[in-house]
Structure 1
Amino acid sequence: MNKLKCKIKFRVMLVMLVAPIFCSTLAAVDKRSGMTPAKDKPNIIIIMTDDMGFSDLGCYGGEIETPNLDMLANKGVRFTQFYNAGRCCPTRASLLTGLYQHQAGIGGMMGDRGAEWPGFRGHLTERCVTFAEVLKTAGYNTYQTGKWHVGDKKKEWWPLARGFDHSYSCPQGGGFFFKPSSFKEKRQVVRDTEVLYDQKNDPPADWYATDAWTDEGLKFIESEAKENRPFIWYLAHNAPHFPLQAKPQDIAKYRGKFMQGWDKLREQRHKRLIDLGIIDKQWKLSPREKGIPAWDSLSGKEKYQQDLRMASYAAMIDCVDQNVGKIITKLKELNQYDNTLILFLHDNGGCDAGGAMGENTGKGTCGTAKSFAYYGACWANVSNTPFRKYKKYIHEGGISTPLIAHWPEGIAKKLQGKLITEPAHVIDIMASCVDLSGATYPTSFKGHAIIPMEGTSLRPLFEGKSLERNDGLFFEHYGHRGVRRGSWKLVATRQGKWELYDMVSDRTELNDLSSKMPEKVKELSRLYNKWTERCFVQKLKGE
């Protein structure tokens, strides 16, 4: 009997010793994925703006005030040769999936050309996964706010059906800042799957899109902070895309600051970019684009109108920066700042819509809710300083974007405030998210075979190493096309001939070497053709 009591007593003591360890282990297991969350998994916030030029930010040579983004750049890293896909939908498709846009089904915009055009289905197809779908398996909470623009006709194409836990967005894209009813086509503001506002039901008078996309995302983060799980938040601003609509106090801040005109501002930006080390001094400033008049040839009235347009554009960017400040403050309040990777980029270069001088087709003064103003090629040429061309083109003005990466615990201290000059691409965002989260990219998902990632993780660059990318980077949008490999870039406009540029000595693409180096043209064009065959890049009529 005494032996039995001793055995029972021993087992009770053993259970008492083991139970806390066992229970704590169970508590650490993520309810959704069955994985044990690692405390060092970073939160990830991806902030993307819309139709913004390479040199608009203060930390990239601009005169627009962006103190919060400048701070992130000075305490993080800035990429000097980061590329997007040249336009709204394609860049978003590549960002979300880590594939070239045609592979994801959005080689053009959101029109569906049918099954015989697999690269042009107008929505994210079943052969791809989003970073939300992948990171969910690693225990991440997933949020999306702002412009969606990768499929809106069915709710199965909306954010919640593509891996996001919560969303507050416009599935159709952008086109408004105060009221959905101000846009000529269907626009909705949706929380998860519930339509809150549309053209028959506008939001309250104090609603402004840039603020709303940020505020709702912060609510998602704060409401689930106690779950102690990492999160990824994709914040897609529609600013500063036309129509130019901004808050009056933000516009007032910039009135008169652009009266010196686009010619002098381009020269000043070019000089600052050189002084910052972002561009090489041997890269000459591209000439004023064809059709844009000299600033000094304008009348006083025309200069006043142009100043208002650029002041409205600047105000929209200023508001984006103010909201970045709110994110920083909230992360610090939640003690999440140091282990959050913040990435900031644009979807394409400045947009030349509205003609050479821009226009206002709305009923109100430029900048107001009733206006519908474009800043035109004249100011887009400033935004894209020092490069040629605009949004939708594959020349540097169309595809070059800043990328700011800030992560106190993850970016080597010796690199903080430095520039990263190695070429990288928006397809690398997915690979980076998978790598840093510890997730596994799937070969199949929901019964569908998944195309392997095209990108490369940026982690080595955060550690002071090289990507060692062997393949080139490829581009195509409605016949505009290009390939960047090493120091060489082959590029052409729709129906145009190939142009060849040495990106080391001539990134502003002013000295075409194609006639002098035909073998290099053949070599790169062969790579491009192989890529088109592999990635569902089909020529449309007229290309």
Structure 2
Amino acid sequence: MASDYDEYEPGKPFPGRIGMTVDESTPAWPAYRRAKDGAPNVLIFVLDDVGFGQLSCFGGLCETPNLDRLASRGLRYTNMQTTALCSPTRGALLTGRNHHTLGLSAITELSMGFPAHNGMVGFEHGFLSEMLLEHGYNTFAVGKWHLAPPEETTQAGPFTRWPLGRGFERYYGFLGGDTDQWHPDLTEDNRSVTPPRTPEEGYHLNVDLADRAIRMIQDADASAPEKPFFLYYATGAGHAPHHVEKSWIDRYRGRFDMGWDAYREQVFARQLELGVIPAGTTLSTRDPDVPAWDTLSADEKRMYARQMEVYAAFLSQTDHHFGRILDYLERIGELENTLVVAISDNGASAEGGVHGTFNEMLFFNGAPERLEDNLRHYDDWGGPDTFPHYAWGWTWAGDTPFRRWKRETYRGGTSDPCIVSWPRGIPASGEIRTQYLHVIDIVPTILETLGLEPPSTIRGVTQSPIEGVSFAHTLHDAAAPTKHVTQYFEMFGHRAIHHDGWRAVCPFPGPSLTEGASRGWLFGRTSLTREVLEELDRSGWELYHLDEDPSETRNVAAEHPEILRSMTRRWYVEAGRYGVMPLAAGDVARMNVPRPTVARPRDRYVLQPGGAPIPFAAAPRIYNRPHSITAKVRIPAGGAEGVLLAHGNRHGGYSLYVAEGRLHHVHNYLGLHKMKVSSNVVLPSGEHTLRYEFEPTGAPDLAAGKGVPGRSQLYLDGRLVGSAMLPFTVPNVFGIAGLSCGRDHYDAVVPSEYRAPFPFTGELVEVVIDLSGELTRDHQRDIDRLMAQQ
């Protein structure tokens, strides 16, 4: 239908006529940016920590009928590569640039002060959302982000690297690397929000994310049904915590009792039958870090099988709720014209260790994962009282037929399932594509498919070159050659390079943790010094001819020394081209690198109730140091109760609160030990200063995952009213939940003591956290201690 007004491109000269009055003037309007007629919607679905051999459409034993449906209507790409870690892959996926180019050598929490490592994706590297927004698309992001430095994720901003700052018009999800699926840390647009329901009321994050995605599409469709959308839908599955309703778990009861060795054999046979691996592929050999299933005790088998039941249930439940989005698009007549890309960000994760863990916070604190602790949670594995991850035998099995896993640059870490579907635009359905691809190729492919050129500028910023190459030519031709011939890999010093059917790998600290340890190199502890690098370059490189050996089972370095030398030289050329240096391991030193913060450095934090929580990564780090918490309160006649300050959740943290008239402090050591101190007096009404102090009394035992021991003390108006000794504390990080004042925003630190949010019912004026080390001096205690030391 012809319009009855004239339009012109914004920024161009006004084409109408301006006279002295309206009746002698001719109007024209700046034109809205509108997509081309018939432009398809774009939906990118990102799975987390899902291996090549887990989804049913890639031969896995986790039932994903909606992804199967997508594959039957589209194409399965069986040679898609990622970076081996989540933030780097997500940045590469959304920009079309290599992860070191973006400053995303690792997750943002492990940033360092070098261009390849700083975690600050520059605005010269435009996101697909920014590109499509300029061409008349609605842009929505739902789920995991993990692309902003943690120091920038507070309500102080800056918000420029949040989703709304990178071209998304609406956002709902979690900004960090993972979150509790029952009690998530949620952000809507640029503000912190709480879940709409509780787990007891049927809440689960996957349900919520699908609801929000559908609502975003629905809201836009009601006003502009012809306007296409770009939806970036990134769930937390199958990253830990593996949280899912019991009804889903029951569907898998007994299904993995055969163990991970038999799982690999079954999946390998299915993959060959489906054609997702080439005929003649050899199943990779036993990993030295993984025990044979038939050597395990009955308790171990029982526990490990349960872990996989829960993981598989989590993937199936995720698939179900993704299917609700597909169903909605089909109902409104949009599914046929929606270009869908489904992909995982890296291989399966080994962060559960050899035993798996009922609480992943044990891994992040270096605490041992013990079978006996896990068995206590057998019946509620996957429920709110766990933050679980499976044993790494399932990780190895989940990457069938490849070796190794996430974090490493063998194919188990980098080769991931990928599905592309667009019924209106891709006539082929149910077919397999084997061209070599990398995640940086997705943006140029989408742009070419939509008939769009990469922008030279975005919001006035000159854009860097897109480094991926389009594989749009393969959508219609299974025999089309790949255009992506060379690709480097690097993650925590673990290196690889692919070139024209050959692959060289230099594993660090070794081909397995066991083999690395035999050389005295330990993951997380051994730094990548120049001496180590030179030794690796002399003897650590392996060579595989993928055309003959897709699963990297035969190291042919000795037979082809010239090819290996050429490949290693090529790695250094590519590393120079994309700014990879300096190489850095994933050691403890990297975890504790001093990083700039938005606020100036300080050791005193003043908080008021009612504000947004401080994300865990930006919260005051009280670990292993003296600290105090001082609350100024007014207690009414009849008393008060509630949380004054809480950090963390039931999987690790602390809470200072008032209950039954008394002041209490609980230190929750990773869900294993709850250490409580309570006041020996009832708090009277009126204005008071309530104070908690922690004074270290020894050194941490970091090798055992234990922080410093110390005195835990409570004060009422300067008078000591409670004291206890803590034999150890959390050494590095509480649960993946932040700090809240006047309530427990996320989940109760100790659910047996109170139910969140448990807001303080008196008047809370302010809470001050002091990390300066200045503690109340109790002279009598000092005298007693000196006398005891004589």
TM-score (norm 2): 0.62
Aligned 1:58-457 pairs, distance under 5 A: 58-111=56-109, 113=111, 117-151=114-148, 152=150, 153=152, 154=157, 155-180=159-184, 188-197=185-194, 205-225=201-221, 226-227=223-224, 228-361=226-359, 364=377, 365-412=380-427, 415-457=428-470
SS state at 1:220 partner: helix
Structure 1 stretches of at least 4 aligned residues deviating more than 4 Å after TM superposition: 24-29, 31-36, 112-115, 201-205
Against the structure 1 CA distance between its residues 470 and 221, is the aligned structure 2 distance closer, same or farther, given a 3 Å change threshold?
closer
After superposition, the C-alpha distances for 1:170-209 in whole angstroms (9 at most, x for unaligned) are: 11121321113xxxxxxx31111121039xx978842212
Residue type matched to 1:456 in 2?
Answer: V
| Whole-angstrom CA distance in 2 between matches of 1:534 and 1:323 | 41
Against the structure 1 CA distance between its residues 138 and 56, is the aligned structure 2 distance closer, same or farther, given a 3 Å change threshold?
same
Residue type matched to 2:395 in 1?
Answer: A
Greater share of strand residues, 1 or 2?
A: 2
How far is the alpha carbon of 1:302 from its aligned partner? 2.0
Question: Is the 8 Å Cα contact of residues 142 and 233 (structure 2) preserved in structure 1?
Answer: yes
Against the structure 1 CA distance between its residues 375 and 260, is the aligned structure 2 distance closer, same or farther, given a 3 Å change threshold?
same
Residue type matched to 1:370 in 2?
Answer: D
When the two structures are aligned, how many residues end up with a matched partner? 511
| Whole-angstrom CA distance in 2 between matches of 1:489 and 1:38 | 42
After superposition, the C-alpha distances for 1:363-398 in whole angstroms (9 at most, x for unaligned) are: 853211111222121111111011100001110100
How far is the alpha carbon of 1:26 from its aligned partner? 5.7
Alignment pair present for 1:458 and 2:439: no
Alignment RMSD: 2.4
Alignment pair present for 1:539 and 2:582: yes
Question: Is the 8 Å Cα contact of residues 471 and 483 (structure 2) preserved in structure 1?
Answer: no
| Whole-angstrom CA distance in 2 between matches of 1:383 and 1:443 | 41
Against the structure 1 CA distance between its residues 378 and 72, is the aligned structure 2 distance closer, same or farther, given a 3 Å change threshold?
same
Which consecutive unaligned segments of at least 5 residues does structure 1 have?
1-19, 181-187
| Whole-angstrom CA distance in 1 between matches of 2:581 and 2:381 | 40
Residue type matched to 2:132 in 1?
Answer: L
| Whole-angstrom CA distance in 2 between matches of 1:108 and 1:372 | 23
Aligned to 1:487: 501
Q: Which one scores higher on RCO, CA 8 angstroms, separation ≥ 6?
A: 1
Aligned to 2:684: none
Against the structure 1 CA distance between its residues 373 and 33, is the aligned structure 2 distance closer, same or farther, given a 3 Å change threshold?
farther
SS state at 1:21 partner: coil
Which consecutive unaligned segments of at least 5 residues does structure 2 have?
11-28, 361-375, 509-532, 587-790
Residue type matched to 1:170 in 2?
Answer: F
After superposition, the C-alpha distances for 1:330-350 in whole angstroms (9 at most, x for unaligned) are: 011111011101111100111
Residue type matched to 1:260 in 2?
Answer: M
Aligned to 1:14: none
- Select the structure of larger CA radius of gyration: 2
Question: Is the 8 Å Cα contact of residues 7 and 30 (structure 2) preserved in structure 1?
Answer: no
Aligned to 1:515: 558
| Whole-angstrom CA distance in 1 between matches of 2:585 and 2:91 | 24
Identity of aligned residues (%): 31
| Whole-angstrom CA distance in 2 between matches of 1:391 and 1:149 | 17
Against the structure 1 CA distance between its residues 455 and 73, is the aligned structure 2 distance closer, same or farther, given a 3 Å change threshold?
same
| Whole-angstrom CA distance in 1 between matches of 2:481 and 2:164 | 33
| Whole-angstrom CA distance in 2 between matches of 1:341 and 1:291 | 40
How far is the alpha carbon of 1:35 from its aligned partner? 4.3
| Whole-angstrom CA distance in 2 between matches of 1:514 and 1:444 | 45
| Whole-angstrom CA distance in 2 between matches of 1:191 and 1:498 | 46
SS state at 1:532 partner: helix
Question: Is the 8 Å Cα contact of residues 354 and 391 (structure 2) preserved in structure 1?
Answer: yes
Question: Is the 8 Å Cα contact of residues 391 and 398 (structure 1) preserved in structure 2?
Answer: yes
Q: Which moved more, 1:362-371 or 1:380-389?
A: 362-371
TM-score (norm 1): 0.89
Aligned to 1:185: none
Question: Is the 8 Å Cα contact of residues 135 and 437 (structure 1) preserved in structure 2?
Answer: no
